[in-house]
Structure 1
Amino acid sequence: MRTIEATMLIAEDRKLVLQLPSDVSPGEHRVVLMIDEPKPVREETGEHEQTPTRWEGNVLVYDGVVEGPIEDAVRQHREERIQHLMKQALQ
């Protein structure tokens, strides 16, 4: 069994088309689609949420709480940033 993870934008028509890697063999496969619940939409007030930071010597460091593995937090932040940039590019 192999896991392929991707973040995708679901269009209004709710159709999803996937291009699989070339090393996936043609034929019948069992495929599982997992859809996360959407995050609540924040009203755009023009003000951004303040990131908790503090100074440690001459270095500004994150001072918030990270739940779970740091890799998950980094991946989530990266996905949110990509979604934000894609939204801006499509405007």
Structure 2
Amino acid sequence: MTLTALLIFLLIGAIAGWLAGLIVRGFGFGLLGNIVVGIIGAFLAGWLLPTLGVGFSLGNPIVTSIVYAMIGAIVLLVIIGLIKRA
């Protein structure tokens, strides 16, 4: 993985985690935490969405990656929220 690819990966994770933190209010973790949530969310969505038979493209691969990662990060934040409430 090149440095450019790593930076793009981290940027997509940061944007997705930040957006997920805005959508699922009260569960943001700051910049570093949002990057981690976004990256884990990207892996989660990469596994979960094809398993459910959901696949889409928004034309631009980076935008599609951000939306995929955001969906996964939202699912992750909801799960974390449910665990914290229990």
Scaled to the shorter chain, the TM-score interval is: 0.3 to 0.5
Return the structure number with greater helix share: 2
- Structure possessing the higher radius of gyration over alpha carbons: 1
What TM-score comes out, normalization by structure 2 length?
A: 0.36
Return the structure number with greater strand share: 1
The structure showing larger relative contact order (alpha-carbon pairs under 8 Å, at least 6 residues apart) is: 2
